[in-house]
Amino acid sequence: MEEPVERQQDCLVDPALWPAARVVDALGVDREVWEEHAQSFELEWWVDTDLTRSMIAAKDDPALLNRLQRKSTAGHAWLSGQILSEFGFTQRQYAGKRVLEVGCGPTGRTLWFEDAAIEAFEPLAAQFCATVPWAEFMHFDKVYSAPIETHIPELNETFDAVLSFNCLDHCYDLRAALRNIRRYLRPGGTAFLSFDVDNYGHDPTHPVSVSHRTAHHAMQDVGFSVVKVDCGHCYPKPDGTWLDSWGGGRAWHWWLEKPRLVYPLAALPNCWMRVPRKETGKLWEFDESADEAARDV
């Protein structure tokens, strides 16, 4: 078996899945390769779940289909409540606020929050609508069927909170994802990011495996203040115990804040912040060249 190479800053890119010539940098891979391998594999996984197959088989039985949908909705609501409560969130914590979930899958954890405006980024949203009958996008205020690395200028500084579960280790460019999450937060806004690190397996859905140290530094580099860090204990099992991983490696959790003020670098020896540039653009007009230029912001 070929050993992973391209180790930089405690980051591994597996050459069996991601040829070195297509590696963008230590925290990213080529988007086209990611779409072809990682996202197609991800979609196949969701389409092949027991619930998806059961609902497709029941398409001619409206009563059974309705029961399966209600059971699915109740189950996801319970699971979301368990996970979010474990991390210290309350159901009305964001009442009257605008919340963004990054990588919600066919349904979202943040739909558990009451009286909040909930939006989401999900790169496979359009495909899920066509292939996963229990998808719950109708309950979101908006869903952007695009990767979080895609910058939508109209969303800059519009969210009070961003939450993400088991997503950022599936992205093709961790640095760009973190940069956009910070852009979308209002000054003083908070982010909760939970994902697996040190997941060095041959898994096409995880293009880049980073250490918690590299992820931590990347968050500081884009201008976040790290409020709290924890690890393990992320997913409840039927026997009442908790898994320490979303799927591989070990789960780490970051509570972050976008500072309200920008201080001189000398006052912050361990991190730095950039003043966000005001940009113009229209929703859904994804200008990749403009997004590349914005990397210098």
Residue 206 has a pLDDT of 77
Q: Confirm whether 49 is domain-assigned.
A: yes
Residue 235 has a pLDDT of 86
> Residue 169, SS3?
helix
The span from the CA of 273 to the CA of 262, in Å, is 6
Q: Confirm whether 135 is domain-assigned.
A: yes
How many CB atoms sit inside 10 A of residue 153's CB? Answer: 18
Residue 201 has a pLDDT of 56
* Angle at the Cα of 91 from the Cα atoms of 89 and 96, rounded to 5 degrees: 105
The span from the CA of 196 to the CA of 103, in Å, is 14
Assign residue 67 the CATH number of its domain: 3.40.50.150
DSSP strand pairing (225-231 vs 235-236)? unpaired
Q: Confirm whether 4 is domain-assigned.
A: no
Question: Is there a contact between 196 and 249 (Cβ–Cβ < 8 Å)?
Answer: yes
Q: Confirm whether 89 is domain-assigned.
A: yes
Q: Confirm whether 6 is domain-assigned.
A: no
178 φ, ψ (degrees, to nearest 5):
-65, -40
Say how many CA atoms lie within 13 Å of 93 toward its Cβ: 18
The residue segments making up the domain with residue 89 are: 11-296
Question: Is there a contact between 216 and 173 (Cβ–Cβ < 8 Å)?
Answer: no
Number of domain units in the chain: 1
For residue 144, list its beta bridge partners.
121
Residue 234 has a pLDDT of 87
Q: Tell me: the pLDDT tens digits for 61-106?
A: 999 989 998 988 898 999 999 999 999 999 999 999 999 999 999 9
Q: Confirm whether 73 is domain-assigned.
A: yes
Q: Confirm whether 35 is domain-assigned.
A: yes
Low-confidence ranges of the chain (pLDDT < 70): 1-26, 199-203, 261-297
How many CB atoms sit inside 10 A of residue 239's CB? Answer: 6
The span from the CA of 103 to the CA of 195, in Å, is 11
Residue 5 has a pLDDT of 33
Residue 86 is inside which H or E element, if any? helix 62-86
Contacts 24+ apart (CB under 8 A), 200-203: 200/4, 200/12, 200/14, 200/249, 201/248, 202/1, 202/14, 202/16, 202/17, 203/248
For residue 253, list its beta bridge partners.
194, 230
Residue 252 has a pLDDT of 92
The span from the CA of 99 to the CA of 120, in Å, is 8
Residue 266 has a pLDDT of 47
DSSP strand pairing (208-210 vs 11-13)? antiparallel
DSSP strand pairing (250-257 vs 185-197)? antiparallel
Question: Is there a contact between 198 and 213 (Cβ–Cβ < 8 Å)?
Answer: no
Q: Confirm whether 2 is domain-assigned.
A: no
Residue 274 has a pLDDT of 37
Residue type (1 letter), 49: T
The span from the CA of 78 to the CA of 86, in Å, is 12
Residue 4 has a pLDDT of 35
